Structure 1
Amino acid sequence: MSLNVEIHSFSYKKGGIPKDYSGNGGGFCFDCRGILNPGRIEEFKTQTGQEIGVQKFLEEKTEMPHFLEGIKSVISITIENYLSRNFEHLQINFGCTGGQHRSVYCAEKIAEFVKNKYPETIVKLFHDEQPQLKVL
């Protein structure tokens, strides 16, 4: 039995917090709107959190690295607990205004973190507002 970790990026304004269809009633929901929005900068408006320029901006010009370190600490406690108890599902959601920059970036980085730290998990990544994005 494996722990399935489902990670979503979403928009608070468009679709709202993703539903958890596992029957567990949800999981984590992190609000990325407290981080400076790269979408307000002209060169980044049409880009997403997958693009290098946006990533560098978030990593070098905002508190994003601190934000993600806190999230990694919190979710690690739960993932380790769920693994030890043979739980099957955990959902982790990242929301921002448009579901394009900050939430996409966070979902990507946390999916990578979980895959690397907990290779026994199955990670599924969804960009709810950006379905055209290639996912890991």
Structure 2
Amino acid sequence: MKLLILTGMSGAGKSTAFKMLEDLGYYCVDNLPIPLLKSFIDLSEQPSAKEQKLVVGIDIRSGESLHLLQSVLSELRQDGKKYSILFLDAEDEVLVKRYKETRRNHPLSGTERIQAGIIKERAAIGFLKEEADYIIDTSHLLTRELKEELQKIFVQEEDFRSLFVTVMSFGFKYGIPADADLVFDVRFLPNPYYIAELRPKTGNDIEIQKFVMGYEESHIFLDKLVDMIEFLIPNYIKEGKNQLVIAIGCTGGKHRSVTLANKLHERLLDEDAIGVKIEHRDIGKDALRGK
């Protein structure tokens, strides 16, 4: 029997993950009373029971009995019962936004602000995050990307990549991304915008890529940037960071930043310890403005 305990912050996507895991062949039981957990597992292991994969959802809804979970998990380990813990998390600002969009209140906020409930919840279930085998931060994940991560871990059984890196291009004239952890300015490079035949194209086009990467400074910048990120990655993982947004900006977010973001993304794909995706925030905004 494979036993997975699914937990995490309210609003981080546990309900969505439950449906996905059910589609992947798991038998899912949500909000099982903690005092019944051991008995449920024993029953599932009876010789007459069909060999199966189980997901048990446990979170803040357990209320006062949540404090019993540590001792129950300890008993399971002593009995030789194997289990994994999947913890879904998200940034506080994202959780607040999700609650506001659904017009729901946090289960622990009562008459207080949503933020107060989130703080209480983090304190109550922090021990589960510390013991988790897998931590997925859904702050910047699309539904399909969450599904891909779950498939990699629980179907393809690939090594879990605890740090997910988003490489983002942007235009300074539209503002620095609020969620950026590292910001780099490539406006020191020659700008294709001032060449009429190149202006309509983007850093996804080969002509722009050849222009931008035709300068030695571009290659030196990229090499130094990769070298620094390769140094930072294991240290971020050691510190427990599970989301990293690297933002590369030029004036309009269309040519130079897109080219360098693409090149960085290509280089980081070879890093086994991380998952990585590319996002071009402002690539089409000049066209929308009629420029």
Q: Is the TM-score greater than 0.5?
A: yes
Instruction: Report matched runs for 1:113-124 at 5 Å.
Output: 113-116=267-270, 118-124=271-277
Shift in Å at residue 83 of structure 1? 3.1
The separation in 2 between residues aligned to 1:45 and 1:131, in whole angstroms, is: 12
| Aligned residue number for residue 26 of structure 2 | none
> Amino acid of the residue matched to residue 57 of structure 1?
F
| Aligned residue number for residue 186 of structure 2 | 32
SS of match in other structure, 1:7? strand
Structure with the bigger RCO (C-alpha within 8 Å, sep 6+) is 1
Q: Does 1:8 align with 2:171?
A: no
Q: Pairwise CA RMSD of aligned residues?
A: 1.8
Deviations 1:73-100 (A, max 9, x none): 1111111222344421111000100100
Q: Does 1:129 align with 2:263?
A: no
Gaps of 5+ in 1: 21-25
Q: Which moved more, 1:121-130 or 1:43-52?
A: 121-130
Q: What's the TM-score, normalizing by structure 2?
A: 0.41
Q: Contact 1:28–1:93 (CA<8 Å) still a contact in 2?
A: yes
SS of match in other structure, 2:204? coil
Gaps of 5+ in 2: 1-133, 135-161, 286-291
The separation in 2 between residues aligned to 1:60 and 1:31, in whole angstroms, is: 18
| Identity between Structure 1 and Structure 2 (%) | 38
| Aligned residue number for residue 227 of structure 2 | 73
Q: What's the TM-score, normalizing by structure 1?
A: 0.83
The separation in 1 between residues aligned to 2:261 and 2:186, in whole angstroms, is: 10
Shift in Å at residue 119 of structure 1? 2.8
* 1:80–1:74 distance in 2 versus 1, CA, 3 Å: same
Shift in Å at residue 33 of structure 1? 0.3
| Aligned residue number for residue 93 of structure 1 | 247
The separation in 2 between residues aligned to 1:6 and 1:61, in whole angstroms, is: 25
Q: Find runs of 4+ consecutive structure 1 residues off by over 4 angstroms.
A: none
The separation in 2 between residues aligned to 1:70 and 1:101, in whole angstroms, is: 20
Q: Contact 1:36–1:62 (CA<8 Å) still a contact in 2?
A: no
Size of the alignment, in residue pairs? 125
Deviations 1:97-129 (A, max 9, x none): 01000110111111111111x133111211111
More helix by share: 2
Shift in Å at residue 62 of structure 1? 5.3
Larger radius of gyration: 2
Q: Contact 2:177–2:247 (CA<8 Å) still a contact in 1?
A: yes
Deviations 1:45-70 (A, max 9, x none): 00111111111111224521111111
